[in-house]
């Protein structure tokens, strides 16, 4: 973040303040080692991310800044912006100067590649594990003691059950939740049964927030609804934050959620931050970051961290987006595009 920089600068109406672009440039002149300024020029990196990663990246950013300074001597200012994954992608398309995007699903980064051409279409093959340094899944968060005995997907469509989930149009987590519900219903009755199931499910949804965090707030703070379809990490975080007022319920099956990360090529080249941005994304795969990732209840890719935290993550059958839905491009077009399945089944 920009603490040190913004703290030391008094309020001014200078052109630099007006343009607000000199975040890194302002401090450069203050460095005593002017001779080294070329090599050590402070850099600013903007990570545009989705909703439930606020706490994760706060810690990852601090760790990376320390690691990078130790390795190269370069001082980094790491900035973060969070919101519904689809909304964040839209902002990057409209010109939000993200050096890296760390979004909830590949389709949103595909949109950035397709509409704004800021990164190549094959972006997902550039980093290991489909460019996803960790995975997660969708679970149920219910109120303490599970008063409505919500144990599996069929329980969600019982009359009178209030289901909280964000809007699949704007939220990545909501799209994973929708697909998790879809695959569970399709297993027994195919597409027709799945669509009938989802129609009933969304009849039980009293409010659609734009992002996962909004839904969690609706469920936990405003106390609306009986069950929250939640990212696994967000469910654990809610219990960390609000104490033992909730129980996590693992359904009989769910989906392997792969939230990907990518370098935004055109932006890093414009900012001259390709090296540090690449270093940042690689750092996410390092044992150090994987440990932080696991502590924030995301499922790490690194075998050592995965083994260490194995007991924290319940193993349930997880379908993949490629296996069950033919990949994100197809799932997006079939289910979430204008006039897709979601538009047909959701009648508020």
Partner 1 sequence: MTAAAIPTRRRRDLNLAPLMILASAAVMAGLILMPLVVVFHDALAKGVGAYFAALKEPDALAAVRLTLLVAAISVPLNAVFGVSAAWAISKFEFRGKSVLLTLIDMPFSISPVVSGLVWVLLFGAQGLFGTWLIDHDVKIIFATPGLVLATILVTFPFVARELIPLMQQQGADEEAAALTLGASGLTTFWRVTLPNIKWALLYGVLLCNARAMGEFGAVSVVSGHIRGLTNTLPLHVEVLYNDYDSVGAFSAASVLAGLGILTLVLKSVLEWRHSGELSANRKH
Question: Alpha-carbon Rg of the chain, whole angstroms?
Answer: 21
Figure out which of the listed residues 17, 26, 162, 340 binds partner 1, where binding follows CB under 8 A.
17
Nearer to partner 1, 175 or 213 (CB): 213
Give yes or no for residue 8 binding partner 1 (CB under 8 A): no
Give yes or no for residue 19 binding partner 1 (CB under 8 A): yes
Nearer to partner 1, 144 or 270 (CB): 270
One-letter-per-residue 3-state SS of 107-136: HHHHHHHHHHCCCCCCHHHCCHHHHCCEEE
As a whole number of angstroms, the distance between CA 133 and CA 262 comes to 11
As a whole number of angstroms, the distance between CA 58 and CA 79 comes to 9
Count, residues near partner 1 per rule CB under 8 A: 37
Figure out which of the listed residues 31, 63, 116, 207 binds partner 1, where binding follows CB under 8 A.
116
Figure out which of the listed residues 72, 74, 91, 334 binds partner 1, where binding follows CB under 8 A.
91
Give yes or no for residue 115 binding partner 1 (CB under 8 A): yes
Nearer to partner 1, 2 or 253 (CB): 2
Binding piece for partner 1, criterion CB under 8 A, among 9-17, 290-298, 308-316, 321-329? 9-17
Give yes or no for residue 193 binding partner 1 (CB under 8 A): no
Binding piece for partner 1, criterion CB under 8 A, among 77-85, 125-133, 289-297, 300-308? 77-85
Give yes or no for residue 166 binding partner 1 (CB under 8 A): no
**Which residues partner with 163 through β-bridges?**
227
Binding pattern for the stretch 199-218 against partner 1, x by CB under 8 A and - elsewhere: --------------xx--x-
Figure out which of the listed residues 53, 56, 68, 82 binds partner 1, where binding follows CB under 8 A.
82
Figure out which of the listed residues 54, 126, 151, 274 binds partner 1, where binding follows CB under 8 A.
54
One-letter-per-residue 3-state SS of the chain: CCHHHHHHCCCCCCHHHHHCCCCCHHHHCCCCCHHHHHHHCCEEEEEEEEHHHHHHHHHHHHHHHHHHHHHHCCCEEEEEEEECHHHHHHHHHCCCCCCEEECCCHHHHHHHHHHHCCCCCCHHHCCHHHHCCEEECEEEEEECCCCCCCCCHHHHHCCCCCEECCCCCCCHHHHHHHHHHHHHHHHHHHHHHHHHHHHHHHHCCCCCCCCHHHHHHHHHCCCCCCEEEEEHHHHHHHHHHHCCCEEEECCCCEECECCCEEECHHHHHHHCCHHHHHHHHHHCCCHHHHHHHHHCCCEECCHHHHHHCHHHCCCCCEECHHHHHCCHHHHHHHHHCCCCHHHHHCCC
Give yes or no for residue 192 binding partner 1 (CB under 8 A): no
Nearer to partner 1, 63 or 93 (CB): 93
Nearer to partner 1, 152 or 241 (CB): 241
Give yes or no for residue 297 binding partner 1 (CB under 8 A): no
Give yes or no for residue 21 binding partner 1 (CB under 8 A): yes
Give yes or no for residue 1 binding partner 1 (CB under 8 A): yes
Figure out which of the listed residues 152, 191, 241, 269 binds partner 1, where binding follows CB under 8 A.
241
Least distance from partner 1 to the Cβ atom of residue 25, Å:
12
| Other Cβ atoms closer than 10 A to 286 | 15
Of 260-289, binders to partner 1 (CB under 8 A) are 270
**Which residues partner with 319 through β-bridges?**
255
Nearer to partner 1, 3 or 315 (CB): 3
As a whole number of angstroms, the distance between CA 193 and CA 196 comes to 5
Least distance from partner 1 to the Cβ atom of residue 118, Å:
8
Nearer to partner 1, 182 or 236 (CB): 236
Interacting residues toward partner 1 by CB under 8 A: 1-3, 6-7, 11, 13, 17-21, 23, 46, 51, 54-55, 79-83, 91, 93-97, 115-116, 213-214, 217, 221, 241-242, 270
């Amino acid at each position: 973040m920009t603490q040190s920089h913004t703290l030391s600068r008094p309020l001014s109406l200078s052109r630099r303040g007006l343009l607000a672009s000199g975040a890194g440039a302002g401090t450069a002149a203050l460095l005593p080692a002017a001779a080294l300024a070329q090599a050590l020029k402070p850099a600013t990196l903007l990570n545009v991310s989705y909703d439930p990663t606020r706490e994760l990246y706060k810690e990852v950013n601090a760790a990376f800044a320390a690691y990078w300074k130790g390795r190269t001597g370069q001082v980094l200012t790491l900035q973060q912006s969070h919101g519904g994954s689809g909304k964040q992608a839209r902002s990057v398309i409209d010109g939000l100067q993200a050096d890296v995007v760390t979004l909830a699903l590949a389709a949103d980064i595909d949109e950035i590649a397709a509409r704004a051409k800021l990164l190549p279409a094959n972006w997902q093959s550039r980093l290991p594990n489909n460019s996803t340094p960790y995975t997660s899944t969708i679970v149920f968060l219910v109120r303490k003691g599970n008063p409505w005995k919500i144990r599996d997907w069929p329980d969600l469509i019982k009359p009178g059950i209030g289901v909280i989930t964000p809007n699949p149009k704007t939220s990545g987590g909501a799209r994973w939740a929708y697909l998790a519900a879809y695959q569970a219903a399709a297993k027994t009755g195919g597409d027709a049964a799945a669509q009938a199931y989802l129609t009933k499910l969304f009849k039980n949804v009293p409010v659609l927030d734009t992002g996962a965090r909004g839904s969690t707030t609706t469920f936990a703070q405003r106390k609306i609804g009986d069950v929250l379809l939640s990212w696994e990490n967000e469910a654990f975080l809610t219990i960390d934050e609000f104490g033992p007022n909730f129980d996590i319920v693992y359904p009989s099956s769910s989906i392997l959620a792969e939230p990907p990360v990518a370098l935004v090529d055109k932006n890093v080249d414009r900012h001259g931050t390709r090296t540090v941005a690449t270093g940042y994304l690689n750092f996410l795969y390092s044992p150090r970051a994987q440990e932080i990732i696991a502590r924030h209840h995301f499922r790490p890719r690194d075998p050592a961290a995965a083994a260490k935290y194995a007991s924290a993550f319940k193993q349930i059958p997880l379908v993949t987006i490629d296996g069950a839905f033919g990949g994100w491009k197809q799932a997006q077009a079939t289910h979430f595009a204008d006039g897709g399945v979601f538009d047909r089944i959701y009648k508020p």
